[in-house]
């Protein structure tokens, strides 16, 4: 049987000087298999056309729909309304990122800054010859690299990180995951000393308090705990 659910969402437009943070309450009939993507789409099309949130893929791949759902950073498209027995769901925008409007935040600018900060690209002195096949690597190494490449940059690990909330320049689990990915990749010629220059400070690997909320909230179940520990051991060994 269907039931009535209540969704409460923050409404605030920081670019409008007349806007003040308020909560809007919406009641709607729950349907079988309803996700928060479906619920929010129904609200925006039938109840409140002004409510703003981000969606792209509906399949937990793009990472656009991250928000705080009843106190936990999650993807709205992968969250069923039936998970909440009370039928009451509170939605907030992800912290740390710049608020655009209501539930929409600018993760892109943060991710771009982080990528530049950690030099998120293959570094090699070898001249690339596109007419030749790329240097092969062992399958088990390739699998380890590809596993870390599954990150969808949703920002949930950042939003759940106490250090990232307190320190705006902290690279977060996603930045440390990037460094781990390149340190494993044999195509990258950087040394541990090179990586230390990038993350060997309190905005990098030594800023992590090992609370591991990042791994708890990662929708792709990336091995953030083990990779952060892996990089910490490597960086401690440099000095």
Phi, psi of 214 (to 5 degrees): -60, -50
Sequence-ordered list of residues with C-beta below 8 angstroms from that of 41, at least 6 positions apart, any chain: 55
Sequence-ordered list of residues with C-beta below 8 angstroms from that of 234, at least 6 positions apart, any chain: 183, 192, 195
- Give the closest residue to 198 by CA, choosing from 159, 238, 167, 162: 238
The residue extents of the domains of the chain are 4-105, 118-126+135-236
Q: What is the pLDDT of residues 157-190, one digit of tens each?
A: 999 999 999 999 999 999 999 999 999 999 999 9
Return the CATH class of domain 118-126+135-236.
mainly alpha
pLDDT of 1 over the 80 cut: no
Structure tokens at 2: 């269907």
The rounded distance, in Å, linking the Cα atoms of 193 and 205 is: 13
Q: What is the pLDDT of residues 54-77, one digit of tens each?
A: 999 989 999 999 999 999 999 999
Q: 């936990």: which residue's tokens?
A: 72
Q: pTM, whole model, 2 decimals?
A: 0.92
Q: Which CATH number applies to 4-105: 3.30.56.10, 3.30.43.10, 3.10.20.30, 3.40.1650.10?
A: 3.10.20.30
- Give the closest residue to 73 by CA, choosing from 188, 216, 196, 210: 216
């Amino acid at each position: 049987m269907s039931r009535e659910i209540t969704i409460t969402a923050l409404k605030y437009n920081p670019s409008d000087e007349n806007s003040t943070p308020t909560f809007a309450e919406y009641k709607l009939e729950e349907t079988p298999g309803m996700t928060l993507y479906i619920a929010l789409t129904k609200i925006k099309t039938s109840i409140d056309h002004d409510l703003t949130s981000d969606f792209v893929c509906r399949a937990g791949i793009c990472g656009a729909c991250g928000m705080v759902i009843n106190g936990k950073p999650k993807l709205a498209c992968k969250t069923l309304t039936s998970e909440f027995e009370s039928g009451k769901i509170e939605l907030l925008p992800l912290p740390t990122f710049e608020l655009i409007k209501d539930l929409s935040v600018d993760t892109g600018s943060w991710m771009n800054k982080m990528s530049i900060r950690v030099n998120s690209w293959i570094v090699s002195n070898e001249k690339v010859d596109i007419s030749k096949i790329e240097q092969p690597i062992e399958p088990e190494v390739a699998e380890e690299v590809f596993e870390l490449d599954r990150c969808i940059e949703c920002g949930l690990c950042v939003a759940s990180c106490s250090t990232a909330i307190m320190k705006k320049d902290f690279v977060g689990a996603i930045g440390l995951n990037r460094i781990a990915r390149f340190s494993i990749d044999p195509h990258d010629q950087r040394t541990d000393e090179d990586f230390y220059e990038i993350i060997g400070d309190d905005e990098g690997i030594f800023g992590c308090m090992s609370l591991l909320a990042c791994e708890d909230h990662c929708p792709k179940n990336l091995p953030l705990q083990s990779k952060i520990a892996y990089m910490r051991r490597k960086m401690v060994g440099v000095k």
